[in-house]
Amino acid sequence: MILDPHAADAAIARRALPLLDLTDLSDSCSDQAVDLLCAKARASRVAAVCVWPQHIARCAELLTGTPVRIATVINFPAGGTDIERAAEDTAEALDDGAHEIDLVLPYRTFLAGDADAASEMIEAVREMSGRAILKVILESGAMPDSARIAEASRLAIGAGADFLKTSTGKSPVSATPEAAEAMLAAIRDSGRTVGFKVSGGLRTVADAALYLDIADRIMGPGWVEAKTFRIGASSLHDALTASLGART
């Protein structure tokens, strides 16, 4: 049986679009860019938009009355060690209307052997976040191997992460299948309800399909939904919607 490749791509797109955290974390992001981002989010009914903290209030206004959530980044992208600043920035973001916090793990500190300091930042932001979703960005591309990624995953889960996220998208190496496998295995083995967000470098329908397949294999059928699986991307949105358009 020969499968129609356009139909296959469209099926992936229909599955992936509701999982998108539609993202603009470019240095040049403007009010006009945020307006366009929110218009795309409303039209496609993605899970969330992810923007710099200074754009949260504008997104909140533009997305009022929709189910699209607003995510922002904290301790981004450097993954510093200033816990007080991270907690204060989180409180301000939530006051401005953010629903989800994407926190960069102090990964250099973690890799240098100070796991306690990394854990303390997550715990502080967890406490400040209240019921908001906390995604911890491991910057997996900076980790030397899958064992360290798994170790960082266990640390983040233990400190209160609601999601593990691969990457900032600002490092030379972003998401990889190997990192996704290590992080998802840690989630599975923890026995806790923790989600996974793959981010950085996903641009094609095939990219989305790859990570959906990995999640299905490790976590089982039916696990992937917006409350447990997100795709952080900017250009991927256009590829997905183009695939759907090819069927019309």
Which residues have a Cβ under 8 Å from the Cβ of 221 and sit 6 or more positions away?
none
Are 60 and 32 within 8 A, CB to CB?
no
- Yes or no: say if 153 and 164 are a contact pair by the CB < 8 Å rule: yes
List, in sequence order, the alpha helices (H) in 130-176.
Answer: 146-159
Catalytic pick among 102, 135, 162, 207: 102
Structure tokens belonging to residue 80: 């510093």
**Is 102 a residue of the active site?**
yes
List the catalytic residue out of 89, 162, 197, 207.
Answer: 197
- Other beta carbons within 10 Å of 217: 11
Over its C-alpha atoms, the chain yields an Rg (Å, rounded) of 17
**Amino acid symbol at 151:** E
Query: Which entry of 24, 89, 165, 207 is annotated as an active-site residue?
Result: 165
HSE-CB of 158 using CA atoms within 13 angstroms: 13
Question: How far apart, in Å, are the Cα atoms of 159 and each of 3, 93, 155?
Answer: 45, 21, 6
Specify the length of the chain in residues.
248
- Tokens linked to 169: 């998208």
Active site annotation includes 165: yes
Alpha carbons 97 and 69: distance in angstroms, whole number = 9
Rounded to whole angstroms, how far apart are CA atoms 140 and 156?
A: 13
With contact defined as beta carbons under 8 Å apart, do 147 and 178 qualify? no
Q: DSSP class of residue 167?
A: -
Active-site positions read 102, 165, 197
